[in-house]
Structure 1
Amino acid sequence: MVEQLTLIAGAARAAVAPALGGALTLWTVDGVPMLRAASAEAIAARDPLGMASFPLVPFSNRIADARFDWAGEHHAIAPNFAPEPHAIHGIGWTSAWEVSEARDDRVVLTLDHAGDARWPFAFAAEQIVALTPDTLTVTLTARNLEAFDAPLACGHHPYFPAAGARLRFAAERRWPPDARMLPGDPVEIADRQVDFAVAERALDCAFSRWDGVATIAWPERALRIESEVDHAVVYTPGGAPHFCFEPVAHLPNALSVTVAPGASHRATMRLIAQPVSVRA
């Protein structure tokens, strides 16, 4: 069993598994699940795709064929999402993180990456998970350890219960995937509004220039999602008991966030439990 750290704030509970990609395995408020809880089977199998949420660093979503060019050099990295030929979600979600601080309501995890076949550039990441009685905040920061500008970005991959869920947010464009699950031609969203019942639409789609606030309403609870990054990926697998709204810093297959030597990129995800009547 992977060791888990439990956070408590009032009637809220959260749990983090540092050795399992620094993933969250649980968040409940008054006993009600606000994230999909990781099953005992998923934890025992060390399956990051079965967690409640995991960190995305140094990139999110897919890099086509696990290959890219940077500063005049060609890089081939390890594909990690068979049978697809792509690399996906970076390396944080499959790495063991160190615990640098653990309190009742706050955990700080760190990850030092020297560069390897999974990702060629060195960086240091820090993940702060903080809990209050109604809010879970995850702040992910990555610092470039190279002596040159390098691609480096942070994001988040939470899973939410799908039953009865309605998702609302605003964005400028959506990027439907092509046959290889890479972004196709963008589609302008005329009124900027995205609003649908999760059970009625199957999506695996990126959105750009979202306004940093999304809401999820269930019959018995509601949730507000806030983040400063301006892209998001929505994954609503048809018939599944979960779905994802992922705040990210760039489109799939676009290493568009560049960080100078010694500088950092940060992405904060704030999840706020709200009364069921709050569904704006």
Structure 2
Amino acid sequence: MSAWSIGGRPMLRTASPEALAARDPLGMASFPLVPFSNRIADARFDWAGQSHAITRNFAPEPHAIHGIGWTSHWSVREADDQRVVLTLDHRGDARWPFAFAAEQIVELTPDTLTVTLTACNLEAFDVPLACGHHPYFPAACARLRFAAERRWPPDARMLPGDPVEIADREVDFAVAERALDCAFSGWDGAATIAWPDTALRIDSDVDHAVVYTPAGAPHFCFEPVAHLPNRLSVIVAPGASHRATMRLIAQPANVGA
């Protein structure tokens, strides 16, 4: 996704011409996370008694990151001014060993953007398979609020360290004042971003989130995801699916005050 604005006001980061020309997902407004989110340590994991090495795709880190959907070619199944359906058929390769079929549905109303990402297990056995979203939001004068049970500060290798209980479950801070790259568990599926001129509600059906607020950057991320980094904890049976919906709802500025 390259942009989303309401009345000329960007609600997501707008991709630059350079990012569009390069087809660089790290320069877009949002990209899909499937079949896992964040990092898998050293691009290796064990499953059903077998060790799997997958492609390292985020040099110079030794890890695999964000799954394969963000760098894959998706086919357009249908498209009009209000709704787009994209599909991805993955048969298993060095990037990810298990076959799955994924679908993105992007829907617009005058004040809402909804992205529904679904992945179906095409194997004849249980596999780890999860969906999530990686949106970028304008950082200038932004305030982020949400509720969660625990935060998981990263260690020196950018993998989750020991969890920290959030006493009152409330996370509330000005984005410019705190540099984070941290996972949260026990998220209640709702968050608010407030700017001086508008606000945005984020609703999702997953219960984890990753917050990335790089110091001095013009953007930040609040990522609805289904599991912690380096934890392939969402298991899907043959023929079954996992789904993650992200709904962004523009609201008056005083909603986030």
Specify if TM > 0.5.
Answer: yes
Q: In which range does the TM-score fall when normalised by the shorter chain? A: over 0.9
Which amino acid is 2:213 matched to?
A: T
- Counterpart of 1:16? none
Task: Within 5 Å, give how 1:124-143 maps onto structure 2.
Answer: 124-143=101-120
Return structure 1 stretches of 4+ with deviation > 4 angstroms. none
Unaligned runs of 5+ in 1: 1-23
- Counterpart of 1:156? 133
Q: Deviations over 1:144-191 (max 9, x none)?
A: 000000000000000000000000000000000000000000000000
- Counterpart of 2:50? 73
Query: Shift of the alpha carbon at 1:46?
Result: 1.6
The answer to whether residue 3 in structure 2 is matched with residue 26 in structure 1 is yes
Query: Shift of the alpha carbon at 1:279?
Result: 1.3
TM-score (norm 1): 0.91
Task: Within 5 Å, give how 1:135-214 maps onto structure 2.
Answer: 135-214=112-191
Selected match of 2:78 from 101, 106, 123? 101
Query: Shift of the alpha carbon at 1:123?
Result: 0.0
Query: Shift of the alpha carbon at 1:45?
Result: 1.5
TM-score (norm 2): 0.99
**SS where residue 270 of structure 1 aligns?**
strand
Query: Shift of the alpha carbon at 1:47?
Result: 1.0
Please give the root-mean-square deviation of Cα atoms over the aligned residues, in Å. 0.5
Task: Within 5 Å, give how 1:79-94 maps onto structure 2.
Answer: 79-94=56-71
The answer to whether residue 242 in structure 2 is matched with residue 265 in structure 1 is yes
Which amino acid is 1:115 matched to?
A: G
Which amino acid is 1:215 matched to?
A: T
**SS where residue 96 of structure 2 aligns?**
coil
Selected match of 1:115 from 76, 87, 92? 92
Q: CA separation in 2, counterparts of 1:26 and 1:46? A: 14
Which amino acid is 1:62 matched to?
A: R
- Number of aligned residue pairs: 257
